[in-house]
Structure 1
Amino acid sequence: MVNKIWSKVQPTLSQPVLNCVKKQGFDTMTPVQAAVIPLLITCKDVVAEAVTGSGKTLAFVVPLLEMLLKKEKDVPLRKDFVYAVIISPTRELATQIYKVVELFLEEPQLTHITISLLVGGQPIDKNVESLRKGSHIAVCTPGRLMDLLSERKQLNLAGRLKELEFLVLDEADRILDLGFSTTLTTILQYIPRQRRTGLFSATQTKELQDLVRAGLRNPVVVSVKEKSTISTPILLKNYYVIVEPQDKLLFLLNFIRNRQMVRGLFFLPTCACVDYWADILPFFLPDKKIFAIHGKMKQKRSKIIEKFRETDNTILLCTDLMARGLDIPSVEWVVQWEPPSSPAALVHRAGRAARAGAAGSSLLPLLPAEDAYVPFVRANQRVHLRDWRASADRIQVTPKLQQKVLSIIHEQQLKDRAVFDKAQRAFVSHIRAYTKHECNLLLQIKELPLGHIATSYGLLKLPLMPEIKQEHKDQFVGPSKDIDFNSIPYKDKQKEASRLQKLQEYNKTGVWPSKKKKKMTQTQPWEHAKQNKEERKQRKKKRKELKQGSGVGKKGKRRRAVTEAELAELAADVALLKKLKKRKISQQQFDEQFDGDK
């Protein structure tokens, strides 16, 4: 069926686009491309739901370029107009889309079409300059696009968008998850209503349906599934394994060692977990190259992804930053430390493997208390998890082997206090993240053996946390000898010198010197943070107006009203001073009368 549709669509494609499609090796269409491309070419609004890795990017890039070529036949493309906007949730995904479009624009007949990448992590002036030089296609993130629309001094982007004909919202459900609902609504107000819109996502949510009603005109809904009973690609095999918490690390190390994989992704709960295990795992996996990436790495992320793409026999430690849309070739295995906070994220994580028709696998370790997660995910996300215990890949966990692994981790912490600090932060952040699970009826913090989990992290001691009870302290297996924690040094000489100075002051005063505690604020979506900032400005302006209206001075003190008696006394003193100056009275008379009045 796909080939038949391809043969129907092929004659409608211009030769430059068709040449580039063939050069990229896309001989046949995927189901989502076969369904969506004809609709977008005929100027329909489309809402497309398809499993991850199904080729959604090409489904909107081909019609977009066809639109530009067709428009150019009627009217030459103007340098100062943006004709197509592609909005993506993250800068990594936006960069990936940008590079795909760039490959098409290398075709000689398409080189005159210009494109800009508008994302965070780079100066906004650079984006402004790029748009001024000319950009027919803009690939952007919602926050940066909103910033540029607000920039009126150097750039009138709203004016450049008045001829826009093609809007794409890629991974739209993720855009809404990140809190950009109001931002998208505002952006849509700047864009002409007479346009064609493609909205692409791997899952459908209520918020997404609300956006469809608000921003699209009678859209055609396309839901492409490779198999009705599952929501992941057919060639993706999803496994789970029940493992004791204190044995989880040993099992995963053995599992990774036994896999001859070109590339693998290892999803961890938090940024702190990624930082910690990036220091520890190289000691146990010396034959594999270990990379690490998370959302707090602002400038390094693109370089890390490129290195990971180019390296073989490698593992990338990551957070859910890497769960959506990114297309990395030859990812054979996706391994997860624990269930993701959102059940839908399981689909996206696993979908980093088995992309574009390739085979792949994923593994989810579960604790005995988490076994109900398997039927839940099957019912909620239509993901069938196979039991890995049916395979022959097992590990004989012995106290001796466990102690050997723990002693190596303990040794690294004792050598460098920075690793010790990372271990404590990783464990605390992991437990905090677990309490925020969407399916917390199944995954309950009170069911977790926190002492055993702390053991699997190789902690030297349990952190002070309200969640840790006496039973958890009894479960914990720490170092075999007593440790003076104040004696653990930093490898960084400057940090160690600072620590020793503070320790000396602590020994004298009994109080650890530290900077003023910063007020902890919860991370907010971009649009909420900007809205709160505007509200603070308005409140400050109102307070200022109230002060001016009530006679409050600059220092905030209310001016006291002057009485008539005080004014009369002041007038008498001035008259007396004038008599003295005119020598009508002597200095002695002036002093007597002035003091007498007081």
Structure 2
Amino acid sequence: MTFDELNINKPLLKAITDLDYVYTTPIQQEAYSPIMSGKNVVGIAQTGTGKTFAYLLPILRNMKFSEQREPRVLIIAPTHELAIQILQETQKLCKYTNIRSLAVFGGANIKYQKQAIYDGTDVLIATPGRLLDLAYTGILGLKSVRQIVFDEVDEMFSLGFRTQIRTLLGMLPQKKQMIMFSATMSEEAEKFMKNAVYEPINIEIAAHGTPIEKIQQSAYFVPNFNTKLNLLEALVNKNENMNKVMVFVKSKKQADRLFEALSPELAEKSAVIHSNKAHNTRMRAMTRFIDGDIKVLIATDVVARGMDINDVSHIINFDIPEVAGDYMHRIGRTGRADKDGIALSFMNEMEQENMSLIEELMGMIVTKLELPEDLDISNIYGDDEKPSVAKDKGYLKNNGYNDERGEAFHEKKEKNKKENSGSAARNKKVYNKSGSRKKYGGRRR
């Protein structure tokens, strides 16, 4: 179906034409009429399928010009980055209308946000915490809200926003349309919807965890952090096609550790982003990555949800996520807009169970690749990496993770059986007792 065939007014259609969009996606087609008719809607679709436009188009189509200052539409997002992206998409669609939009989130100056709220807006996009901060000051009135959208609703619960969401709903008018969208749906989110959303129309374009067909998925068995680091540098430095790479790690501490361990050459082409970074730092890193000024963005799952970054060539799961659905959100950053993508996963023995759960969720086996023959393999293990079988009992030789194609991983090459502390490119660095790397002559920076 084309956008011309939807009941879209001329200003919206003109804005869509400017964006060179012609055909609707399945979630956009299925959600348009129910949202237009005012029904409560729960939409589930894969990442990169146009969920933001799926709810924005019918909402904006129904909006009339108003001079009132209180918002009529409230869109809740779990992160700063997603809130800003939704604002940008809203502004694109409202290019030829008088509809006002505004985003508020933590980490930014609340004084300026108060003034913007006072000046008035039709569509307010917000993170839960900052929204309540502004509501408690009295500057933000919510009694005119007629539609509320929860974007990536299950992520809000996983980030601990349950109390804020319940408090927020208590501030809103009883009569309102509720719209929830996500790529996956957790058990807690489903329970919340059953209690809070009256007779919703459920739209599920693809089952949770359905693999994205245009993404080529592969995995390496890599025993520990230092070897993962060596493999990351080897792949990025030797593969010219790795021009825009997102590297996902398990924690903020791990993100900083990885960035500090990169070689100076790769560090200059990389940035790190997580929730402990200041808002301006996060935005600067995102902008540099989007513009191609850097080729590697190290991130926690804070940016895996809903973010639309064009032309990401590769996703690397430096750590395997404990929640299988998070894997889908991560790899969904590539292979977007009908383009191909590549997702690589680095898996140690302790992470094999997580990978098995991911494969079970997707209903497929991820292809296992052999490590490069010249890769240096470290013998230093962290507490969360120590194998259950000693290395001298064949841990690297046979890890027990096989599929129908035969042994999943190769036997350790003869040249790699020597003890070493890093790649040849960093042969002036040594490991200290804690397993971290240092350079002769002091710290790199």
1:376 maps to what in 2? 357
Does structure 2 retain, via aligned residues, the 8 Å contact 1:231–1:383?
Answer: no
> 2-side partners of 1:206 and 1:289: how far apart?
39
* Residue 323 of structure 2: aligned partner: 342
Cα shift at 1:462: 2.7
RMSD: 3.3
- Quick one: which of 343, 346, 356 aligns to 2:337? 356
Residues 398 and 256 (structure 1 numbering): CA distance in 2 closer, same or farther, change over 3 Å? Answer: closer
1:37 is aligned to 32
- Of the three residues 104, 110, 115, the one matched with 1:118 is 104
Counterpart amino acid of residue 114 in structure 1: R
Q: Which moved more, 1:354-363 or 1:228-237?
A: 228-237
Task: Find out whether 1:461 has 2:432 as its counterpart.
Answer: yes
Give 1:280 deviation, angstroms: 3.7
Aligned to 1:231, the other structure's residue is in SS state coil
Shift of 1:269: 2.7
* Aligned-partner Cα distance in 2 for 1:190–1:367: 47
CA separation in 1, counterparts of 2:136 and 2:71? 16
1:255, CA displacement in angstroms?
1.7
Shift of 1:368: 4.6
User: 1:488-512 CA distances to partner (integer Å, 9 max, x unpaired)?
Assistant: 76788xxxxxxxxxxxxxxxxxxxx
Cα distance in 2 for residues equivalent to 1:65 and 1:203: 25
Q: CA deviation at 1:99?
A: 1.1
Alignment match, 1:308: 289
Cα distance in 2 between the residues matched to 1:130 and 1:150: 16
CA offset at residue 279 of structure 1? 3.5
Secondary structure of the equivalent of 2:217? strand
CA shift for structure 1 position 163: 2.2
- 1:397 is aligned, of 375, 381, 395, to 375
1:417 corresponding residue in structure 2 = none
* Residue identity in the other structure for 2:25: T
1:61 equivalent in alignment to 2:56: yes
Q: Is the 8 A contact 2:210 2:361 kept in 1?
A: no
Q: What is the one-letter code of the residue matched to 2:62?
A: M
CA distance change for structure 1 residues 374 and 293 in 2, over 3 Å: closer, same or farther?
closer
- Asked if the contact 2:349–2:387 (Cα under 8 Å) also holds between the matched residues in 1, the reply is no
- Cα gap change, 1:374 to 1:28, in 2 (>3 Å): same
Q: Alignment length, in residue pairs? A: 412
Amino acid at match of 1:307: R
Letter in 2 for 1:137: V
Instruction: Note if 1:138 corresponds to 2:127.
Output: no
Aligned in 2, Cα 1:217/1:355: closer, same or farther, shift over 3 Å?
same
1:88 aligns with 2:68: no
Partner of 1:266: 247
Q: Which residue of 1 aligns with 2:403?
A: none
**Structure 1 contact 271–296 (Cα < 8 Å) conserved:** yes
- Structure showing the higher helix proportion among its residues: 1
Residues 31, 273 of structure 1: CA spacing in aligned structure 2 closer, same or farther, 3 A cutoff?
same
What code does the residue aligned with 2:166 have? T
In structure 2, do the counterparts of structure 1 residues 491 and 310 end up closer, same or farther at CA, with 3 Å as the change threshold?
A: closer
Distance 1:105 1:42 in 2: 21
Distance of 1:257 and 1:203 partners within structure 2: 34
1:257-336 correspondence to structure 2 within 5 Å = 257-259=237-239, 260-283=241-264, 285=266, 289-299=269-279, 300-311=281-292, 314-336=295-317
Q: Which amino acid aligns with 2:26?
A: P
Contact map agreement 1:56 1:200 (CA 8 A) in 2: yes
- 1:289 and 1:129 map into 2 onto residues whose CA distance is 38
Quote how far apart the aligned CAs of 1:229 are.
9.7
Q: 1:348 to 1:384 in 2, by over 3 A?
A: farther
**1-structure distance, mates of 2:17, 2:436:** 59
Secondary structure class of the residue paired with 1:324: coil
Q: 2:67 aligns with which of 61, 78, 82?
A: 78
Following TM superposition, by how much is the alpha carbon of 1:123 offset from its aligned partner in structure 2, in angstroms? 2.5
Q: Do structure 1's residue 447 and structure 2's residue 388 form an aligned pair?
A: yes
Structure 2 partner of 1:20: 15
- Alignment of 1:387 with 2:387, yes or no, is no
Deviation of the 1:398 alpha carbon: 5.9
Which amino acid letter does the alignment assign opposite residue 142 of structure 2?
L
SS of the residue 2:431 aligns to = coil
Matched residues in 2 for 1:310 and 1:254: separation?
Answer: 24
- Cα distance, 1:250–1:41 mapped onto 2, change above 3 Å: same
Q: In the alignment, which residue of structure 2 is the partner of 1:105?
A: 94
- 2:208 & 2:107 partners in 1: Cα distance? 41
- Contact in 1 for aligned 2:184/2:208 (Cα 8 Å): no
**Equivalence for 1:239:** 218
Q: Give distance in 2, aligned partners of 1:477 and 1:130.
A: 47
Corresponding residue of 1:555: none
Q: Residue 207 of structure 1 aligns with which residue? A: 188
How do 1:221-232 and structure 2 match up within 5 A? 221-225=202-206, 231-232=210-211
Q: Specify the SS of the correspondent of 2:63.
A: helix
Contact 1:86 1:140 in 2 (8 A): yes
Q: If the length of structure 1 is used for normalisation, what is the TM-score?
A: 0.63
Answer whether contact 1:17 1:104 (CA < 8 A) is retained. yes
Unaligned runs of 5+ in 2: 397-418, 424-428
1:513-552 correspondence runs (5 A): none
TM-score (norm 2): 0.83
1:478 Cα deviation (Å)?
Answer: 8.4
CA contact (8 A) 1:229 1:382 kept: no
Query: What is the rounded CA distance, in whole Å, between the counterparts of 1:34 and 1:180 in structure 2?
Result: 30
Contact preservation (8 Å) 2:217, 2:366: yes
Q: Which residue of 2 aligns with 1:185?
A: 166
RCO higher in 1 or 2 (8 Å CA, sep ≥ 6)? 2
Q: CA deviation at 1:281?
A: 2.3
SS state of the match for residue 262, structure 2? helix
Contact 2:421/2:430 (<8 A) preserved: yes
Q: Distance in 2 between matches of 1:490 and 1:279?
A: 10
Give the alignment partner of residue 233 of structure 2, picking from 253, 278, 292.
Answer: 253
Structure ID, larger Rg = 1
SS at match of 2:167: helix
What is the one-letter code of the residue matched to 1:258? K
**Residues 107-162 of structure 1, C-alpha deviations (whole Å, 9 max, x = no match):** 2xx1x22122110012322222111111111000001111112113xx2x2xx322
